């Protein structure tokens, strides 16, 4: 992904964001749960997760939000500013899954001096769509 700024003038409605894949390991799930201060056992204890009906430990919601934010700002570069992010959840993410992210610019507009784009995104695993929604990102203008 880019480390350069994406400028509003260079973005078009319908533009596809790059596909990004992330392998999800036990370490990913446990460390992101700890980082988000989510100490529920279903995110680090296999037996407890099974007792609660899951096949294994699983990714928490806050980690999903972090991955969505990273995907968006990797695309926008350091000048991008996430203004709004809606997340709907579906399939659970387990160790061994590959989380695949994609997105597209669905709308380009300005509000006053702020240059905005809406991004429709989706994150999926083999079992189906994990997270999806629309995020609004402010982008820098060239001039």
Q: How many CA atoms does the CB half-sphere of 11 hold within 13 Å? A: 29
Record the pTM.
Answer: 0.93
96: left (phi over 0), alpha (psi -120 to 50) or beta: left
- The domain defined by 8-139 folds into Thiol Ester Dehydrase; Chain A (3.10.129)
pLDDT at residue 4, as a whole number: 87
pLDDT (tens digit per residue) in 99-139: 999 999 999 999 999 999 999 999 999 999 999 999 999 99
Domain ranges of the chain: 8-139
- Residue 42 is given by DSSP the state G
pLDDT (tens digit per residue) in 66-95: 999 999 999 999 999 999 999 999 999 999
Residue 122 has a CB neighbour count (10 Å cut-off) of 17
User: By the 8 A CB rule, do 16 and 104 touch?
Assistant: yes
């Amino acid at each position: 992904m880019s480390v350069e700024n994406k400028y509003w003038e260079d973005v078009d409605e319908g533009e596809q964001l790059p596909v990004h894949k992330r392998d999800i390991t036990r370490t990913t799930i446990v460390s992101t749960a700890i980082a988000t201060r989510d100490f529920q056992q279903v995110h680090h204890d296999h037996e407890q997760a099974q007792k609660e009906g899951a096949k294994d430990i699983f990714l928490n919601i806050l980690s999903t939000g972090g991955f969505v934010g990273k995907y968006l700002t990797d695309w926008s570069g350091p000048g991008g500013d996430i203004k709004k992010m809606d997340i709907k959840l579906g399939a659970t993410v387990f160790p061994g899954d590959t989380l695949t992210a994609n997105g597209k610019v669905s709308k380009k507009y300005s509000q006053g001096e702020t240059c905005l784009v809406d991004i429709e995104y989706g994150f999926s695993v083999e079992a189906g769509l994990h997270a999806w929604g629309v995020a609004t990102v402010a982008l820098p203008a060239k001039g």
